[in-house]
Structure 1
Amino acid sequence: MVSMPAQSRKMRSDLPPLKDAESGTILQEVAPISDEGNTRRQLAKRLADVICIPASQLTPQERHMAGDVLVELLRDADIDVRESVAKRLVMLNEAPRTILVILAKDDIRVAKHILENSLSLSDSDLIQVAQKVSGEHRKVIAQRRKLSDSVVDALVQFLEEDVVETLLKNNGAEFSETALQRILTMSRNYAPYVSLLNRREELRPSHGLTMFWWADRSTRRRILHRFAVTRAVLQESCNDLFADAAKEGWQDAGVRKALQFVERRQRNRAAIARSDYEGLEAAIEIASAHGLTKTLIEEISYMSGIKPATGAQILTDMGGEALAVLCKSTGLKRDMLEKLWRAVYRPPEDEMEQEHPHLTRVIEAYDVISTDKAQTVLRYWNWSLTSSLNEDVLRYIKNGVIPREEEHGAAAITAALVFGHRKG
């Protein structure tokens, strides 16, 4: 065995401590190494201290060399050492990313310091880490103060409920259309996403008014309050085009569907003239007395200016708020809403012979929304649920597949989500 001089067997006491160049703060007091088991820990600390020296006192090359040595040392270090290094490096903007990525993939006790707080990790680092760690790690990433949409996409693809909920609650997370669409699809069978999604600024009318169909009562009210808007600007902008479309015989299907959404009048006068019933109210009277039939659903739908598929969705909706929207938008009085409620086999009274609380809630929804705003919602539903129902989209719905928006449009996605939803 080679004998070492006494002076070399311990750390020299006259070695100056490392200091921060700006504040003068001592980064690490030099302490004697007392035993062999402590050597690795002390060496790891010294190497971390070197990495933390300000750029004015250390070249990038030396910093990265120290980092390379530290990486090798950490491979066999115990968890206390690794956590100590993670805490030391977490707030350093110039820490070698190789070390940070390794620590970010470590045991959650070590990784949490890096994943939640390190400012040196790039989006590509976070995405790489997210692909190779546990759900517990991904949840910590979801808590970061700022998250780009690309990182959010990487986290959402694992469909982990607690991770997605954490992201939705994080105001610093940015959501792409892809992530929102994925979560919207998941929300059909996981109720907590619905209210959380409705609080996101990124949510579009197509998302909210689609999600309405499986939302709870309170969230439905918030959706209608947020997305039931007037169409005054659209109507003013397109008003002169109705005459032009009429001159062309309404031959352009795309123009016809778009202008139907903008039009002020809700009831279809031509359908009323062709109907075997005297009017919309008369059809509802008969439905209230004898119950709804397929023929009555079709007639009520056509006279209300909507397609039978939309009418069936509204008339079979278990919540009832959609009935309020239908009645308000078509100018039906409150008593017609109550009769339509009976027509869909809903009890108007509870066991105490008082007005049923569900009917009371639906009447409140009717009273709160204006006619113009109700028409906006009803027309949007009709457009989104029926304008893209071609053979391809119907095949997607039958197979439970959501079509791609770039190929079939937003309306096709809405139709697939709503008509493909298995209730109960």
Structure 2
Amino acid sequence: MSETATSPEEAAPEGGFRARHALLKRLADVVCLPASRINAFERAVTGDLLVEMLRLALPEDRRRVAARLAPLAELPNALARMLLRDDPEIAGLLIEQCASLSDADLVACARDATPIHRFLMASRRSLSEVVTETLLSFGETHVIEAVLRNSTARLSQTAIEGVVSLSRQEPHLCGPVLKRPELRPSGAYVMFWWCGAEDRRTILQRFAVSREVMQEVSEDVFAMAAAENWQDPVSRKALQFIERRQRNRAAIAKSPYGGLEEAVAAAAERGLNREVATEIAYLSGVKPVTGAKIMGDPGGEPLAILCKATGLGKSDLANLWRSMRRPETADDGSVHPAWERVQITYDMLAVDRAQTVLRYWNWSLSSALTPALLRAIRDGEEDGLDTYSAPERAAMLALADNFGR
């Protein structure tokens, strides 16, 4: 502090003021002094003076001060506020390097500054849920993708659900969001409907979970529910999700086809019509709306999941594929890529895991379809998603395209 000679670093740029340049550097040095040399009030006052000077300083001067202050463990609030709202190349020095910035500093910067500032902030290390939620709230896909690719950032479940919803219109977000540790199976299962082939494979490999533990702990509860004649709708619905059996015995007893294989064979022979498709859905233990979504899927992988979950063989899968007039061979005589992908999907899944996916789809696409939810799907009321349960939100997202959107 006692040094008065001008160092080479303090040489003013051509046409500049040497005194201003030197003073800016000296004041920045004072702010950087350790707590043993300067108390908090002195640092704050020095920071206030530096702010007033920087308001009229050249961008290069502000950049030098920002670079000097970035490593600080404690930065005067007024100084941080001003520099964070400066040009991106200046603010970026603090955004990327200054560990002393609080969540409040970052949130305020995100709200007050530009998309470029938010994009720089998206790659900052150890972003908290509060900051990432603010960044995602602007709906800027390049910022959202940068946040998703930031492995040190933390996302809340609300933020993840928002990104899952957005990925329907922005498919390039599917890959990054599938890598997030915060994503839960419920979000992945509903994303399946609009994901590409590789992302669908990722979902099945990572999120198609077993229900073995649930089956073990609830084994005796099935007898209790049966003794009560299954009168409790809450336990009945949960046990239907947990149980090992997938096919609907009551539907099989009433079916004119005698069983699921016979219904599939009839579809292959005569073609798949509404009546047979509905019957196949009932025999498979799912509602017609779930069956329609599965059989109408362009990719075909849900069909493999349906067959594996219900115990149908690969010949039955082929019959069902043919019943929908889907191609089995390409123009050059090789196996059609879609049909090959469907067979691989069938082979890669265990029965129990396929049932988990199928039952979640059935739960979210049918059980959650209240009249209010159907109206919301038709009207596109996605702004009110927070008022609905997880399966209801899944149904709104997955079925929105079925209602002419």
Q: TM-score category by the smaller chain?
A: over 0.9
Q: TM-score, normalised by structure 2?
A: 0.94
1:123: Cα distance to partner? 0.3
| Greater shift in the superposed pair: 171-180 or 286-295 | 286-295
Instruction: State which structure, 1 or 2, has the greater radius of gyration over its C-alpha atoms.
Output: 1
| Partner residue in 1 for 2:2 | 16
Aligned AA (2:116): E
1: CA distance, partners of 2:11 / 2:338: 76
Kindly report which structure 2 residues correspond to 1:2-401, keeping only aligned pairs within 5 A, or say none.
16-17=2-3, 37-401=17-381
Task: Give the superposition deviation at 1:28.
Answer: 7.1
TM-score normalised by length of structure 1: 0.90
Residue 298 of structure 1: CA displacement?
Answer: 1.2
Cα offset, 1:162, TM superposition: 1.0
Change (3 A) 1:408 1:248: farther
Residues 332 and 290 (structure 1), Cα distance of their counterparts in 2 relative to 1, 3 Å cut:
same
Q: Which amino acid aligns with 1:98?
A: A
- Tell me how large the CA RMSD over aligned residues is: 2.2
AA of the residue aligned to 2:255: S
Report the 3-state secondary structure (helix = DSSP H, G, I; strand = E; otherwise coil) of the residue aligned with 2:204.
helix
Q: Output the CA distance in 1 between the equivalents of 2:246 and 2:398.
A: 23
Q: Tell me, in whole angstroms, the C-alpha distance in 2 between the residues paired with 1:305 and 1:270.
A: 10
What does the per-residue CA deviation read over 1:68-110, in whole Å, with 9 as the maximum and x for residues that have no partner? 1111111111101111110011111122021011101001111
Aligned-residue offset at 1:367: 1.2
- Give the superposition deviation at 1:130: 0.4
Deviations 1:299-355 (CA, angstroms, capped at 9, x unpaired): 101100111111111111111111111111111111110111111221122223333
Matches of 2:216 and 2:11, distance apart in 1: 82
Q: CA deviation at 1:30?
A: 9.5
Structure 1 residue 404: deviation in Å?
A: 5.6
Q: Distance in 1 between matches of 2:342 and 2:11?
A: 77
Amino acid at match of 1:81: D
Aligned to 1:7: none
Q: Which moved more, 1:381-390 or 1:64-73?
A: 381-390
Shift in Å, 1:246? 2.0
Q: Is the 8 A contact 1:257 1:387 kept in 2?
A: no
Is the alpha carbon distance of 1:91 and 1:272 closer, same or farther for their aligned partners in structure 2, counting shifts above 3 Å? same
Structure with more of its chain in helix, by fraction: 2
In the superposition, relative to structure 1, how do residues 269 and 37 fare at CA in structure 2: closer, same or farther (>3 Å)? same
Number of corresponding residues: 403
CA distance, structure 2, for counterparts of residue 302 and residue 369 of structure 1: 22
Structure 1 segments, 4+ long, off by >6 Å, are 27-36
SS at match of 1:240: helix
2:94 and 2:401 mapped to 1: Cα distance?
41
Shift of 1:32: 8.4
Give the match's secondary structure for 1:202: coil
User: Hey, what's the Cα distance between the residues in 1 that align with 2:211 and 2:287?
Assistant: 21
Q: Could you say if the C-alpha distance between residues 36 and 115 of structure 1 is closer, same or farther in structure 2, counting changes exceeding 3 Å?
A: closer
Higher mean displacement: 394-403 or 44-53: 394-403
Task: Quote how far apart the aligned CAs of 1:289 are.
Answer: 2.1
More divergent stretch after superposition (375-384 vs 346-355)? 346-355
Structure 1 residue ranges without an equivalent (≥5):
1-14, 19-26
Query: Secondary structure of 1:120's partner?
Result: coil
Whether contact under 8 Å (1:153, 1:176) holds in the other structure is: yes
